[in-house]
Amino acid sequence: MATTKKVTAIKNTPKHLLGIQNLSVLEAKEILTEAKSFIKLNRGSSKKLDVLRGKTQINLFFEPSTRTQSSFDLAGKRLGADVMTMNMGNSALKKGETLIDTAMTLNAMHPDIIVIRHQDSGAPNLLSQKVNCTVINAGDGRREHPTQALLDALTIINRKGKIEGLKIAICGDILHSRVARSNIYLMNMLGAEVNVIAPKTLMPKGIDNLGVKSFTDMKKGLDGCDIVMMLRLQNERMQGSFLPSKREYYEFFGLTPDKLKFAKKDALLMHPGPMNRGVEIDTKLADDINVSLVKEQVELGVAVRMACLKLYCK
Amino acid sequence: MKEKILTNVRIIDPSQKMDEIGNIVIDEKGKIKSIGKKSGTSKSAEKIDLKGLVAIPGLVDMKAFVGEPGFEYKENFRTLSQAALAGGVTSIVTMPNTKPVIDNVSMVDFIIRRGRDKAKVNLFPCASITRQIEGNQMTEFGLLKARGIIGFSDVNKTIQNSELMSRIMNYASDIDVLIMQHAEDYELAKNSCINQGEVATRLGLQGVSDIAEKIIIERDLSLLSEFPCRYHINQISSKNSLNVIKKNKSNGIKFSTGVSINNLSLNQNDIGEFRTFLKLSPPLRSEEDRLSLIEGIKNDLINVIVSDHIPEDEESKRLPFAQAATGSIGIETLLSLSLELYHNESLPLEKIIKCLTINPAKILKIDKGSLKEGSDADICIFDLEKPWVVKAEELKSKSKNTAVENRKLQGKVKMTLLNGEIAYSN
């Protein structure tokens, strides 16, 4: 009997998920739809599927990570893949092995998917040219973190029903943030209006050409926003080279209940984690279940990664 | 050798304001005997008919890296000179950032002897301005010059210390040596690998503002007004730098300026998705900057076009962009890429050739870049119209890191003469 092939937007194997910039709207929507179906599964008591049975997934992490790494780990396992996680922070690179060497070594083990996190922008692109399996970007330098943006989108859709027509503010260290970049592309693509808010020293040049409005004032930037995404500010940036002090940053850019009032009444708060309580965000606000979506983000992260693994590994 | 006569060739020689169809007679010693439409003939001479082709003085490339000593796996004298001759270049200024660095007299003797044995082009070695290119202590300008060093350059490093720079200029002025500066402020350029702006933001790479270049040029030109010496800015890349140069030239400060053919032919968008062969220093900047550099040549604010030939092996380039080596090869494509600026009506032909021949020769104070009677018959003969496609594997350099792979060009070298002998022909 002839079977009709399911038509999908994601074809041409092996296909890589290197960034939101390379995605079409259809592809993004397909991932989100697929992810939705996993939310329920993840909340149930029997969480195991066999979609990826027999497939090998290697998590190649050159940079330390807790949530992204465990999320990918779990996602692969729930789909039935054999998952191997390699923390490269202190092994091959210190022996002078290049990314390409590592890639060739791993390639010889015939993985089906490599999930890579790397401190250099463009590393996943380079890897994808040298291996013959699917490459999924789990964050590269300050360029992209596509699965984070996708999980953010799913979280918003889950709460607000849609993204189109919403106004989203991204606040904090935009300059060094891959989360900000991926979210700018994705939210724009899905029809939201995006504001970015940062002190001038943490605002990248040419950001306005990415289709956002940039602000240095929380009051103006948050005005009328439905979603407020806070970014992590790394400690080393706060000691005089980019900003005068933690205290001064919190005063002007830290999210407090008072500042949140500049946004819409029903505005929701997001954070990719890990949070610096008292630096970029008020600690009570971060835990306020009526406002904060932080836990939900982590939860849906697994669903989104399952969707990506399933759709890209065929 | 026998006397030679090149006939029916279009001769363009900016050094004598010549653009006419005529003959070139080369005597037994490899010197130009007579040139131009009134040039005589001689029955005994070997005749070469060059109808439809153009003859210009052999190109003088003021910035190229030859791997010897220390980096023979990237390039050597033999491969460099083959690439040069295939590109019509007959005189090369070689950079001192070898291993060991050319910063002392014994290294100069080595490089001159080695070059004479292995290379088939005229080599003019540079020594470093500071010992070990560390930017701390100046090298022995006087002794090095006496041994045959043409000029001083820290290549892609900049003298950051203003006091040292002022002393270098002050000392150099007395003994008439050429100081060639790469203009980049280290703090502003820290960790950067691309121009600052939208492209850098999208690629997530650390960008460098053109202020890093401008600030050093401004400083150096201020110092130069106090300590006038022979000063040359290796390569500029931006409109902002050009404005500084314009202002200082109109104030009567004397210096010269170069530009890489890459910055004239490419912009930051060509980097695409992390093409490391286009990671250059100074970086490729915006289209506006590129166009302003062309204007700079038109207005004589920029005097020299260089190849900035930097051979790099594949291993150094096959890395994430931030870690990859900087530079691209270019000596073989220098003329053809420059001719593109004529074909797309950016610059007049005479101006382009001037920046590749007599202008660098004058700055270096060498007897090259001209086809005047009595000068060495170093001649580049090319077909102005011939279309071709750049293929890395066909280039003669040992390393294949060309920034213009697959580019369709018009104009190709047909023959190169060195001291009257045919050193290359295809």
pLDDT above 90 coverage of chain B, percent: 96
Strand (E) positions, B226-317?
230-233, 256-260, 304-306
Query: Quick one: pLDDT band at residue A11, thresholds 50, 70, 90?
Result: low
A144 to B320: CB separation less than 8 angstroms, yes or no = no
Mean pLDDT of all residues in A253-276: 95
Mean pLDDT of all residues in B298-304: 98
Instruction: Tell me if chain B has a CB within 8 Å of the CB of A181.
Output: yes
- Tens-digit pLDDT profile for residues B80-128: 999 999 999 999 999 999 999 999 999 999 999 999 999 999 999 999 9
Mutate to test the interface with A, among B192, B198, B202 (most CBs of A within 10 A): B202
HSE at residue B154, side-chain half, CA atoms within 13 A, is 21
Q: What is the ipTM of this complex?
A: 0.90
Predicted confidence at residue A44, as pLDDT, reads 93
Predicted confidence at residue A1, as pLDDT, reads 44
Instruction: Tell me if chain A has a CB within 8 Å of the CB of B278.
Output: no
pLDDT above 70 coverage of chain B, percent: 100
B200 to A205: CB separation less than 8 angstroms, yes or no = yes
Query: Crossing angle for the helix pair A178-189 and A146-160, nearest 10 degrees?
Result: 50
Terminal alpha carbon distance of chain A: 22
Distance separating alpha carbons of residues A272 and A229, to the nearest angstrom: 8
B204 to A205: CB separation less than 8 angstroms, yes or no = no
Mean pLDDT of all residues in A287-293: 94
Contacts of B14 (CB under 8 A, 6+ apart): B350, B353, B354, B357, B358
Distance separating alpha carbons of residues B400 and B123, to the nearest angstrom: 22
Q: Would you say residue B192 has pLDDT above 60?
A: yes
Predicted confidence at residue A14, as pLDDT, reads 63
Residue with tokens 């407090």: A256
Coil/strand/helix, residue A168: strand
Contact of A156 with B237, CB cutoff 8 Å: no
- Tens-digit pLDDT profile for residues A100-142: 888 888 899 999 999 999 999 999 999 999 898 999 999 999 9
Predicted confidence at residue B269, as pLDDT, reads 97
> Given A141, A142, A206, which is nearest B197 (Cβ)?
A206
B320 to A121: CB separation less than 8 angstroms, yes or no = yes
Contact of B225 with B253, CB cutoff 8 Å: yes
Q: What is the pTM of this model?
A: 0.93
The residue from B185, B220, B308, B378 that is catalytic is: B308
Mean pLDDT of all residues in A51-61: 95
Mean pLDDT of all residues in B215-236: 97
CATH topology of domain B58-364: TIM Barrel (3.20.20)
Instruction: Tell me if chain B has a CB within 8 Å of the CB of A178.
Output: yes
Q: Would you say residue B230 has pLDDT above 90?
A: yes
Rounded to an integer, what is the distance from CA A213 to the centroid of its chain? 21
- Tens-digit pLDDT profile for residues A21-50: 999 999 999 999 999 999 999 999 999 999
Mean pLDDT of all residues in A224-240: 86
Q: Would you say residue B2 has pLDDT above 80?
A: yes
- Tens-digit pLDDT profile for residues A135-146: 999 999 999 999
Query: Quick one: pLDDT band at residue B40, thresholds 50, 70, 90?
Result: confident
Distance separating alpha carbons of residues A119 and A62, to the nearest angstrom: 7
Distance separating alpha carbons of residues B182 and B281, to the nearest angstrom: 9
Query: Quick one: pLDDT band at residue B41, thresholds 50, 70, 90?
Result: confident
Predicted confidence at residue A133, as pLDDT, reads 93
Catalytic status, residue B383 = no
A178 to B274: CB separation less than 8 angstroms, yes or no = no
Contacts of B388 (CB under 8 A, 6+ apart): B336, B408, B409, B410, B412
Instruction: Tell me if chain B has a CB within 8 Å of the CB of A214.
Output: no
Predicted confidence at residue A89, as pLDDT, reads 75
Distance separating alpha carbons of residues A14 and A135, to the nearest angstrom: 8
Distance separating alpha carbons of residues B125 and B69, to the nearest angstrom: 13
- Across the strands, what pairs with A140? A118, A144
Predicted confidence at residue A93, as pLDDT, reads 60
Instruction: Tell me if chain A has a CB within 8 Å of the CB of B133.
Output: no
> Given B205, B209, B318, which is nearest A121 (Cβ)?
B205
Mutate to test the interface with A, among B190, B273, B276, B278 (most CBs of A within 10 A): B273
Predicted confidence at residue A88, as pLDDT, reads 83
| Distance from the B277 Cα atom to the nearest Cα atom in chain A, whole angstroms | 13
Here the tokens at position B197 are: 């702006």
Strand (E) positions, A91-178?
113-118, 134-140, 167-171
**Chain A residues 100-129 within an 8 A CB cutoff of chain B:** 100, 118, 120-123, 125-126
Q: Would you say residue A300 has pLDDT above 70?
A: yes
Which chain A residue shows the shortest CA-CA distance from B322? A120
Predicted confidence at residue A6, as pLDDT, reads 55
Mean pLDDT of all residues in B338-359: 98
Query: Quick one: pLDDT band at residue A98, thresholds 50, 70, 90?
Result: confident
